[in-house]
Amino acid sequence: MDVVRKGTDAAIITYGGMLGRALAVRDQLLKEGVSLKVVNMACVTDVDNNVMEGLLSVKAVFTYEDHNPATGIMPPVAYYLLQHGYRGKVQSFGVKDYGKSGDTEELLKGEKLDVGSMAEALRAALR
């Protein structure tokens, strides 16, 4: 796990092709005064204790992936947070339906995983 951008209000953990989108979401929210930490989780089954410890102080932790969050990065992230008494909000964003094909951006928009939809979802979650 690598902290790609520092932030103090909330954190978004992602990997692969979603990293650039997470950075774009961060940029949108930063314009509104929300400081979002962006974490790249290159190995989807292992958490970095030092990075995770740094998330315990933010008020919300989000995972953001183009896979099913039930079998992706949310389980190890949530397990760590629970084991360490995290009291903030935890929410996963990922693909809910399978079997569709098409343009990547259209598919992500259909799942509400595009940059605009994510920025709106995080705004709502942080209210």
Confirm whether pTM is higher than 0.85: yes
Distance CA 107, CA 73 (A): 20
Structural domains in the chain plus CATH codes = 2-125 (3.40.50.920)
Query: What pLDDT does 29 receive?
Result: 97
Distance CA 118, CA 116 (A): 5
Query: What pLDDT does 45 receive?
Result: 86
**HSE-up of 100 (CA within 13 Å, CB side)?**
16
Distance CA 77, CA 61 (A): 9
Residue type, 127: R
Query: What pLDDT does 124 receive?
Result: 94
Residue numbers of the chain with a pLDDT score lower than 70: 99
Query: What pLDDT does 99 receive?
Result: 65
Contact 117, 24 (CB under 8 A): no
